[in-house]
Amino acid sequence: MNKPENRVDQIVSDLLHGRRLKLRGGDAEEKAAITAAARLVAARQGTQRMNPAFRKRLEQALESAPKEPWMTRRAALVAGFGLAAGAVTGGLLGRAMEPAATALRPSGGDPINPVPGKWVDVAAISDLVEGQGKHVTAGSVGAFLFRRGDSVTGVSSICSHLPCELWWNGGQGLLACPCHPATFTPEGRSTDKTYPLPALSTVQVRVTPAGRVEVLGTD
Amino acid sequence: MSAGHPPGEQESAPDETDDVLQLPMAPRATDIALGELEIVYAFIYARVGNRADAEDLTQQVALKAIPRLREGAPASAIRGYLFATARSVLGGFWSTRLGLSEAELHEDLALAAPPAPPSEERADTVQRILAELSGNYRRVLELRFLHGYSLKEVAAEMHSTVGAVKVMQLRALRAAAKVKVE
C-alpha cells in the first residue's frame, strides 16, 4: 500500500467520494499529482456554492462580529480561543488570527486561569448525570462539566480549532463542533487520529461541602 | 507567508466612498460580504476538491477578514484582501498537510492565483487539461474523473489490469499537473 500509485489512488478515491483530503508527510513526493487530482475532481463538479447551513453560519459570524469587536487578548484567553493559534495545523490558523492572537501561543489542554478569576456557582452536583456533559457558563468562561462519582471535571466549550461553541452529542458521548467535522472526548482530547486537534482547555472546577459545583470564571 | 496588503488596496480611497463595506453591518452589507465569500469558497473548493476542507478554509478566511470589513475598506480592496488571504490559507493548508515549508510548495500549487475571479473560470477546465495529455493518460483520467469509473471498470474498459491502471493514473496526474491552464 506504500507504493505511490496506491497512495495516490487512495487519495483520488477519497476525493471522488467527497471525502476530506487526508494526507501524510510522505505524500509530499506526489504533491503535483495530488493537487492535480483535487483540481480535476473540483472542475468536474463545476463552480461550487456554499451549503446553505454553512452560509448561515458565516452570516451569523459576520453579523455577530460588531457586537464583539474582535477578541481582546483577555477575552481570547478566557474563551480558550487562543488554542487555535497553536493548532496542529502548524500555525495555520494562528496566521489567520494575527495580530490578535499572536502573543498567546498556549499549549493544548492548558487550564483557563482568568485574571481576576472568580469562583462561580453553576449547578448542584445532583444536576449532573454521569456520562453526560452539562454546559455551564461562569461569566465569560463557557464549559462542559462531567461528573464521575463525587468529582467533577470540566473543559472549555470552545473548539480548539475554530472559535465555535461545542455541543454535547449524548449519543456518541462526545463534544462536537458545529463548524467543522471535529469531536472531542469528555477529557477534551481530539478524536481525529489522522489530524488530531489541540486538546480543549480545561476549566477549574470544585465541589463545595454543600454539594454545589463551582467553576473558576469571571464576573 | 502573509496575506499582506491586498493588491489594489490604497492608503485611502476618497473617491470610492459609495463603494464601501462597513461594519456594523446592515443586512445588505452582510449580503455583499457573503457574496464575496461565496466566490472565495468556489476558489478554494476548486483547489481542494472537497466540501469539508473548503468550508474550513473559507471560514478561516472570513475570520481573518472580519476586522478588515469593519474598517470600511473599499469593496474592490476587500475582494483583493479576501483572495490574498485565501491564497495564504491555502498555502498553509497544503504545507501543513504535506509536511512542507511554504517555500517548498513553490508557486505551482494554490499560491498561484488566477487573474480573474473564480466565478469567471471556465467550466471546461477539465477538457482543456485533458486535451493536453497523450491518449492513454487522457483516457484514464476521463474515465476516472469525468465518468466516475472505479479502477476495475477503467481496467476493463482499457483492456488492462488494475495495477497498470493505477500506475497510469499516477503518471497521468503528474502530467496533468504540468498543464498550464490560462
Q: Are residues B115 and B172 in the same domain?
A: no
- Option in A42, A58, A91 nearest B49 (CB): A42
Residues of A in contact with B62 (CB under 8 A): 58, 61-62
Q: Are residues B99 and B146 in the same domain?
A: no
Residue A89 identity: T
Q: Are residues B107 and B153 in the same domain?
A: no
The pTM for the full model equals 0.54
Domains and CATH numbers, chain A: 4-45 (no CATH), 77-219 (2.102.10.10)
Q: What number is the average pLDDT over the span A97-113?
A: 45
Q: Are residues B31 and B114 in the same domain?
A: yes
Task: Report pLDDT for B115.
Answer: 41
Q: Per mean pLDDT, which of A93-107, A155-169, A185-199, B164-178 is the most reliable?
A: B164-178
Question: Residue B158: which CATH number?
Answer: 1.10.10.10
Residues 6+ apart with CB under 8 A from A208: A214
Q: Are residues B19 and B95 in the same domain?
A: yes
Select the more confidently predicted residue: A101 or B126. B126
Task: Report pLDDT for A117.
Answer: 85
3-state secondary structure string across A137-149 = EECCEEEEEEEEC
Whether residue B7 lies inside any domain: the answer is: no
Residues of B in contact with A30 (CB under 8 A): 170, 174
Instruction: Name the one residue in this structure whose C-alpha cell is 480549532.
Output: A161
Whether residue B5 lies inside any domain: the answer is: no
Whether residue B136 lies inside any domain: the answer is: yes
Q: Are residues B103 and B141 in the same domain?
A: no
Q: Are residues B92 and B21 in the same domain?
A: yes
Whether residue B82 lies inside any domain: the answer is: yes
Contact (CB, 8 A) for B78 and B68? yes
- Option in A59, A65, A162 nearest B23 (CB): A65
ipTM of the shown complex: 0.72
Select the more confidently predicted residue: A84 or B30. B30
Whether residue B113 lies inside any domain: the answer is: yes
Q: Is residue B93 exposed (0-12), middle (13-18) or buried (19+ Cβ within 10 Å)?
A: buried
Q: Are residues B54 and B82 in the same domain?
A: yes
Q: Are residues B156 and B103 in the same domain?
A: no
Interface of A with B in 164-203 (CB under 8 A): 179-181
Cα angle A26, A28, A32; round to 5: 140
The total number of structural domains that make up chain B: 2
Whether residue B6 lies inside any domain: the answer is: no
Q: Are residues B173 and B109 in the same domain?
A: no
Q: What number is the average pLDDT over the span A26-55?
A: 87
For residue B150, give its domain range.
125-177
Which of B82, B100, B120 is where one domain is finished? Answer: B120
Whether residue B9 lies inside any domain: the answer is: no
pLDDT tens column, A190-216: 887 766 778 898 999 999 888 999 999
- Alpha carbon distance B125, B145 (integer Å): 13
Q: Are residues B107 and B131 in the same domain?
A: no
pLDDT tens column, B47-85: 999 999 999 999 988 887 776 665 556 666 677 778 888
Q: Are residues B92 and B135 in the same domain?
A: no
CB-based contact (8 Å) between A31 and chain B?
yes
Whether residue B44 lies inside any domain: the answer is: yes
**Which of B60, B167, B168 has the highest number of chain A CBs within 10 A, making it the mutation to test binding with A?**
B60
Q: What number is the average pLDDT over the span A11-27?
A: 87
Which of B86, B102, B120 is where one domain is finished? Answer: B120
Which of B79, B98, B120 is where one domain is finished? Answer: B120
